[in-house]
Amino acid sequence: MAESVVCFLFEQLSIWLQEQQKLIGGLRHDAEFIRGEMGQMRAFLRVADAKEESDLQLKEWVRQVREIAYDAEDVLEKYIFQFAHHHARGFRGSLKKMYTTIKNLNARDEITSEIQAIRSRVENASQSQQRYKDMYATMLPGSSSTRATANTWYDGRGDALLLEETEVVGIEKPKKQLIDWLSATDCGLKVISVVGMAGLGKTTLVKKVYDDPLVKVNFDHHVWVTVSESFRTEQLLHGIIMRLVEEVKQAPPQGLETMADVGMREFIYNFLQNNNYIIALDDVWSINAWEAIRYAFPRSSSRGCVIITTRSSDIANAACSESNCHKYPLQPLPAQESIVLFNRKAFPGSSCPLYLKEISESMLKRCKGWPLAIVLIGSLLATKNNRIEEWQTFNQSLCSELEEDNFKRMWKLLSLSYYDLPYYLKSCFLYLSIFPEDHMIEKATIIRLWIAEGFVEAKQGKTLEQIAEGYLNELSNRSLIQVAETTRDGRPRNFRIHDLLRKCIIAKSREQNMVFVNSQGDTRWPEKIRRLAIDSSINCAHQICCFENLRSLLLMRAVNSECASMPYQMLRSGCRLLKVLDMRKAPLDTIPDEVFRLYHLKYLSLRETKVQVVPKSIGNLKKLETLDLKGCWVTELPIEIIKLERLRILLVYRYYGGFNAYLQAEDVQSFKAPYKIGCLLSLQKLCFIDANETVVIREIGKLTQLQRLGITKLRRDHGKELCPSLANLTNLRSLNIHADVGEALDLQYAVSASASTFPFLRCLVLNGSLDTLPEWIPSLNALTMLRLSWSGLREDPLEFLQVLPNLLILGLDCAYEGEGLSIKAGGFQRLKRLNLMGLRRLGWVRVEEGSMPRLEELMVRDCKSMAELPADFRHLTNLRLVWFTDMGREFVEIVSEERRRQGDQWKLAHVATVRFLNTAAGVIRSRAVDENVDQRFSTSDVDYPDFIGR
């Protein structure tokens, strides 16, 4: 972590030295010296970060360097704040300038003194560094061992190899699947990767498979090798050779100890040629480990299997690039098996007493099926002799207990993944501690926060958002976070971090002075807090602190009365260096004046507050990149907003009535934009803007970086100006257009029907009457989601839409007035969900064989003229869910009779679930695979968040 802090300071100093050409006295010289020394420390800090756990003196040195970097950044930004001149004119302006000059001279002296003090600290740290460099010289870049590791303690990973079958829980299903793959008789090399987070039981599972008699008998040679995070190619190959020759009681090849890598690979290849073999590579940490040995295994003349365990999906995917391969993502234990494992550890030889059942369930809920946590917690509770008062105390203080010796194994096992992270991901990972327990981590939100914090390094050819999304994917691939929810087209939308892993990174984040998250039992806060996340579900009483170093202030839940005044106190206490201010759901009617004095502010969220007005002073926030007013009552922005030249995200809208089945024009509250909105050339997201004047529509065309655009209150006569403006927006990913009440959409003007017009557009929503379908829609090759509402089309739109090559979701809501729809053979080759709603005159749907081969969900709602099921549904073999909602009585009676009479020959007999819903009656009638059930209807069957966005 210290490395990432130092790297950030190094980059900031580089930029600052370029921009500030007229530094007084020796300030520039001192700044250059600090930059140079910090640059030299970066490489060694990569080693030191990993070794500090086993060397307390080194840990203290790393802490000092980290604090120097933080303090230097503080001074740098104080300088920028003090000398960010505001030009003033006239007599008053001259007096103000004179006063400011005198004041700035004093500030310059103070800052110069602080810089010189930091230089002295840097010199001392540089002298100390040499001692550690000598000690860990073999681990520096360029040495024979470049991979740092903190594994000088016993982590217990090897215990999994010694477990008896009776000690293992929940492996029957994955074990059977792996054995089935291994038992296949096809020749060639087969690679199986078992991937999952630390402590899920990957090694345990694969060892039981490896030792199974059914597997043993199928292979002539058996090798088990633990690779580990500190592997060396020659040691790995040497280990495989020794196990091969030992199994057949053969002497090692002559000269093995001095043999080159190529020679060892050749020996293994020849040894295994024309034989059946199984090689288990346990705990693979890098793609290099696989690439170093993959060609040592014969492919054509043998039947071989390599089975890998890893925490990284990237490694699993790389290993599974062979023609015959399988990937098994190991999942947490199901609830019942979690209970079995917990009871086995907490109550050895007996069962759970009734009086401890509720507490047991509470702790198991927090474990979320994580075997490592279940075993550690259960084993510790076994020492408490079933005393309920001790169990209750432990349950209430589980977070603090993680710091005790009993839980060091958990953190140390997880810390291997942390120390293996590249430096730029360590800050990002620890930053996730800001989110409360069980909180959904919205991809869009965390990306904006990381960018505002300065964690995302710019790369040529990519936006910061794309780079940050890559960071998220990398953390997910390393099994440190899990995808909790995806969009309908399969992209991650929300992530989740395991509660106990979160508690570990909270402790690490506090230790690194990265983020302070207020938690239960906090009686004393740190002297210096740089990032503060307030969980208002917890008592917010605290010792008075100095917040002048505060960079980020985040309210992570709806603010209770106890915490309501805290942000105001902090803002008034002089925290002028704030970059991030997230006050979502705070009890705010107006934006505090102090906010507009935050010169460094990059991220401001007032989401779901009662704020109605944005004052003109918003123009003071020159560095602002994200302004999130979603869910507020703001309906207009002042002209001063155009001063925010760095603004990338502008969200000012509100939904009424949630995600309604039928999206009305008045369901979205948008905002009136100033007529020069086109000055905000950095904008990437703009939602939702009133098309109140033609000049605003023209201005939209200047925003060529836009990726998401939402427009409301469009009139028919606006189309002539809008289409040329849209033609300029070649970076669009999402476009949402709503006509004004009683108006039609006229989008037939030239947007260019070429595929290059909107090459990246994935989501399109058109809400309003259309004379005909815009000619440019069928050319949208990247389109995955399309929703047409209240279009009133008279020609069958599916004839034109079914050629879209990547369309996954199609919704027609009151969009068609014809009597029939026809889907021809070859149409909608990737469509997964089709919604037909409010098509009152629709009598029939024809589905030809060869169309919609991937359709999974069909919803037909309020199509009262439909009298029978569409024909030829049998070929839709992937269809798993069908909804019929608010249909005519005749339709329900005919379909019910068909199902009764035809039985297994019914055209929807292959569909797992068919549901009939009458929203007025509030009852779902559902036919599942083997059952008929009635259940109360409690949630809307229509959900369009994919079309709405974040």
CB within 8 A of 938, min separation 6: which ones? none
CA–CA gap between residue 829 and residue 827 (Å, rounded): 6
The CATH number assigned to the domain with range 157-329 reads 3.40.50.300
User: 759-794: b or e for each residue (b if 16 or more CB lie within 10 Å)?
Assistant: eebbbbbbbbbbeebbebbbbbbbbbbbbbbbbebe
pLDDT (0 to 100) of residue 681: 95
Q: What is the mean pLDDT of residues 898-921?
A: 83
CB within 8 A of 914, min separation 6: which ones? 882, 884, 908, 926, 927
Strand 580-582 to strand 552-555: parallel, antiparallel, or no bridges (unpaired)? parallel
Confidence at 16, pLDDT banded by 50, 70, 90 = low
- Within 691-751, strands assigned E span 708-714, 734-739, 744-745
Q: What is the mean pLDDT of residues 609-634?
A: 95
Closest CA to 485 of 440, 438, 449, 448: 440
Token pair belonging to 580: 């991030």
List beta partners, residue 277.
Answer: 221, 304
DSSP label at 672? Answer: B
Determine the straight-line distance between the first and last CA of the chain, rounded to whole angstroms: 30
Confidence at 618, pLDDT banded by 50, 70, 90 = very high
Please say if the pLDDT value at position 663 is more than 80.
no
Confidence at 625, pLDDT banded by 50, 70, 90 = very high
CA–CA gap between residue 404 and residue 48 (Å, rounded): 24
Please say if the pLDDT value at position 600 is more than 50.
yes
- Within 824-870, strands assigned E span 833-837, 844-847, 857-861
Tell me the whole-structure pTM to 2 decimals.
0.81
DSSP codes, 577-618: T--EEE-TT-S-SS--GGGGG-TT--EEE-TTS------GGG
User: 898-926: b or e for each residue (b if 16 or more CB lie within 10 Å)?
Assistant: bbeeeeeebbbebbebbbbbbeeeeebbb
CA–CA gap between residue 842 and residue 836 (Å, rounded): 10
Confidence at 879, pLDDT banded by 50, 70, 90 = very high
Q: Give the torsion sign (CA, 402, 407, 412, 417).
A: negative
CB within 8 A of 397, min separation 6: which ones? 521
Strand 552-555 to strand 531-534: parallel, antiparallel, or no bridges (unpaired)? parallel
CA–CA gap between residue 479 and residue 310 (Å, rounded): 9
**Is the peptide bond preceding residue 455 cis, with omega within 30 degrees of 0?**
no
Closest CA to 276 of 220, 233, 314: 220
> HEC profile for 225-289?
EEEECCCCHHHHHHHHHHHHHHHCCCCCCCCHHHCCHHHHHHHHHHHHCCCEEEEEEEEECCHHH
CA–CA gap between residue 926 and residue 913 (Å, rounded): 7
Q: List, for residues 774-793, the tens digit of each pLDDT value.
A: 888 988 999 999 999 999 99
Q: What is the mean pLDDT of residues 886-890?
A: 87
What is the Cα gyration radius of the chain?
32
CA–CA gap between residue 260 and residue 838 (Å, rounded): 72
CA–CA gap between residue 332 and residue 199 (Å, rounded): 10
Q: What is the mean pLDDT of residues 110-121?
A: 79
CB within 8 A of 737, min separation 6: which ones? 710, 711, 714, 745, 747, 765, 766, 767, 768
At 690 the three-state DSSP class reads strand
318-327, 589-598, 936-945: least confident range: 936-945
pLDDT (0 to 100) of residue 871: 67
> 251: buried, middle or exposed (CB in 10 Å: 19+, 13-18, 0-12)?
exposed
Confidence at 41, pLDDT banded by 50, 70, 90 = confident
Token pair belonging to 886: 């608010």
Q: Is 655 within 8 Å of 630 (Cβ atoms)? A: no
List beta partners, residue 709.
Answer: 686, 735
List beta partners, residue 927.
Answer: 914, 932
Q: What is the mean pLDDT of residues 199-214?
A: 89
CA–CA gap between residue 621 and residue 644 (Å, rounded): 7
- The count of other CB atoms within 10 Å of the CB of residue 58 is 20
Please say if the pLDDT value at position 942 is more than 70.
no
CB within 8 A of 883, min separation 6: which ones? 857, 858, 859, 860, 861, 915, 917, 941
Q: Give the torsion sign (CA, 439, 444, 445, 450).
A: positive
Q: List, for residues 733-747, the tens digit of each pLDDT value.
A: 999 999 998 889 988
Sheet holding 188-195, edge to edge: 221-228, 276-284, 303-310, 188-195, 325-329
Distances from the Cα of 747 to the Cα of 72, 758, 774, angstroms: 55, 15, 6
Confidence at 159, pLDDT banded by 50, 70, 90 = low
pLDDT (0 to 100) of residue 527: 76
DSSP codes, 114-177: HHHHHHHHHHHHHHHHHHHHHHTGGGSTTSS--------S---GGGGGG--GGG--S-HHHHHH
CB within 8 A of 322, min separation 6: which ones? 189, 190, 191, 299
Confidence at 257, pLDDT banded by 50, 70, 90 = confident
Residue 437: what residue type? E
Q: List, for residues 369-426, the tens digit of each pLDDT value.
A: 888 888 888 887 888 888 888 888 888 766 555 555 556 667 777 777 887 888 889 8
Please calculate the CA angle 455-459-460 and round it to the nearest 5 degrees: 155
Long-range contacts of 180-184 (CB under 8 A, 24+ apart): 181/326, 182/209, 182/215, 182/218, 182/278, 182/305, 182/307, 183/214, 183/215, 183/218
CA–CA gap between residue 214 and residue 223 (Å, rounded): 16
99-103, 196-200, 846-850: least confident range: 99-103
Distances from the Cα of 139 to the Cα of 43, 110, 427, 458, 465, angstroms: 10, 41, 22, 28, 34
List beta partners, residue 222.
Answer: 278
Q: How is domain 421-497 classified at the architecture level of CATH?
A: Orthogonal Bundle (1.10)
At 940 the three-state DSSP class reads coil
Helix (H) or strand (E) holding 687: strand 685-690
Q: Is 41 within 8 Å of 94 (Cβ atoms)? A: no
- Mean pLDDT, all residues of the chain: 81
Token pair belonging to 683: 């904008």
pLDDT (0 to 100) of residue 22: 54
CA–CA gap between residue 751 and residue 387 (Å, rounded): 74
Q: Is 686 within 8 Å of 703 (Cβ atoms)? A: yes
Please calculate the CA angle 629-633-638 and round it to the nearest 5 degrees: 70
128-137, 166-175, 740-749, 939-948: least confident range: 939-948
Q: List, for residues 439-460, the tens digit of each pLDDT value.
A: 889 999 999 999 999 899 888 8
Closest CA to 624 of 652, 607, 599: 599
Q: Is 683 within 8 Å of 650 (Cβ atoms)? A: yes
> HEC profile for 382-426?
HHHCCCHHHHHHHHHCHHHHCCCHHHHHHHHHHHHHHHCCCHHHH
Q: Dihedrals φ, ψ of 313, to 5°?
A: -65, -30
CA–CA gap between residue 725 and residue 715 (Å, rounded): 15
Rounded to 10 degrees, the C-alpha dihedral 805/810/816/820 comes to 70
Half-sphere exposure of 227 (CA within 13 A, CB side): 24
Q: List, for residues 456-471, the tens digit of each pLDDT value.
A: 988 888 899 999 999 9
CA–CA gap between residue 760 and residue 778 (Å, rounded): 14
Q: What is the mean pLDDT of residues 522-546?
A: 69
